[in-house]
Amino acid sequence: MTDPLRVPHVVSSHELARWPRLTPVRFTVLVALGAVLIASIGEVAPGPDRLIGALPRMASLLDRMVPPDTDPAFLGRMGLRLLETLQIALVGTVFGVLVSFPLAWLAAKHVSPLNMGRWISRALVSLFRTVPDLVWALFFVSAVGLGAIAGTLTIIVDTAGFCGRFFAEAMEESDPKSREALEAVGARRIDILFASVVPNCMPSFINTSLFALELAVRSSVVLGIVGAGGIGQELKSAFELFQYPKAATIILAIFVIVLLMERLTDWLRQKMG
């Protein structure tokens, strides 16, 4: 009996191309990218001789870091700095999320009450996101002076850029049918936002905010290097004063804090999922 699924092929398998055809444009782009990569490796990548030469110095540095400093007075001071770091991250994230929400709404296609004007909001979110946090920290240290306030402002801007983009994407992808249904009953854009978009996007908003908190903890650790408060300031001092055991304690503390924060946000994500 003939198998009904076996029908004669119009073309045989060896006639079908396995790979997409390499057009002249694709070929040119590939060659250009390859050239840029090879040139960059030659300029900035460490050569084997440099790496081998640095190994003894790395070993010596690690040797001087052991054992980490456990002086109670130092641990107490470091604990306060760690607390400040977490405060910067938490307050910065909460305010950053609050700032990003209206920005995302104004920027989101089909959800925003603005037409062309939404590009202004989109551009602002891009600016916040693309400028690195250390650059924002330098800006705010110059504007408001050394300390935690500059760090908090940096995290607010950083979070607004990160959440602004992902909140806007979530809003754009939210169920269009429920949006249309509310539009049909005469809902305004702000009504649609709070009655349909926010409930539909809530899991995504929570996930993004928790990621933002994780990022904020990592960022706030290094902000002190440019004088924007937190544990980074202690780390910078320890290295500058060749107090390597102190630096080792701080690095271990940062590792534990970031790890705990990741575990906490994972747990919260599971609970709220």
Partner 1 sequence: MNEQVWVGAGAQVRAPLDQVTQGSCPPIVLEARGLGKQFNTGSRVLEAVDFSARRGERIALVGSNGAGKSTLLRCLVGLLPFGDGTVEILGQRFSEQPNRRQRAALRRRLGFVFQFHGLVGRTSALSNVVNGALGQGYGWRAWSQALAPKQLRADALDALAAVGLSDRALDRTDTLSGGQSQRVAVARALVHRPELVIADEPAASLDPVAGAEVMRVFHGLAEQRGATLVFTTHDLQHALDYSDRVVGLAAGRVVLDSPTVHLRASDLEAIYRD
**208 CB-near residues (< 8 Å, 6+ apart):** 162, 163, 166, 167, 170
Q: Which is nearer to partner 1, 196 or 219 (CB)?
A: 196
Least Å distance, CB 179 to partner 1, is 8
Distance from C-alpha of 27 to C-alpha of 33, rounded to nearest angstrom: 10
Closest CA to 200 of 182, 184, 185, 179: 179
Least Å distance, CB 145 to partner 1, is 40
182 touching partner 1, by CB under 8 A: yes
* CA distance between the termini of the chain: 53
73 touching partner 1, by CB under 8 A: no
Q: Which is nearer to partner 1, 18 or 177 (CB)?
A: 177
100 touching partner 1, by CB under 8 A: no
194 touching partner 1, by CB under 8 A: yes
266 touching partner 1, by CB under 8 A: no
Size of the site for partner 1 (CB under 8 A): 19
Each residue 140-179 as x (binds partner 1 by CB under 8 A) or -, in order, gives -----------------------------------x-xx-
Q: Which is nearer to partner 1, 154 or 196 (CB)?
A: 196
Tokens of 171: 């809003």
Q: How many CA atoms lie within 13 A of 107 on its CB side?
A: 24
* Region of 14-22, 72-80, 195-203, 259-267 interacting with partner 1 (CB under 8 A): 195-203
Distance from C-alpha of 208 to C-alpha of 161, rounded to nearest angstrom: 12
The label of the residue with tokens 């994500």 reads 269
Distance from C-alpha of 74 to C-alpha of 268, rounded to nearest angstrom: 32
Tokens of 42: 């030659």
* The one-letter amino acid at 214: E
Least Å distance, CB 115 to partner 1, is 14
Least Å distance, CB 190 to partner 1, is 8
Can the peptide bond before residue 67 be classed as cis, meaning omega within 30 degrees of 0? yes
Binder among 180, 255, 256, 260 for partner 1 (CB under 8 A): 180
Buried b (16+ CB within 10 A) or exposed e, 156-167: bbbbbbbbbbbb
Alpha helices by DSSP H, 108-197? 118-130, 133-144, 148-173, 176-184, 189-192
* Region of 133-141, 186-194, 210-218, 220-228 interacting with partner 1 (CB under 8 A): 186-194
* Region of 2-10, 187-195, 204-212, 259-267 interacting with partner 1 (CB under 8 A): 187-195
Binder among 199, 241, 259, 272 for partner 1 (CB under 8 A): 199
195 touching partner 1, by CB under 8 A: yes
Binder among 114, 149, 187, 258 for partner 1 (CB under 8 A): 187
- Contacts to partner 1 by CB under 8 A: 175, 177-178, 180-188, 191, 194-196, 199-200, 202
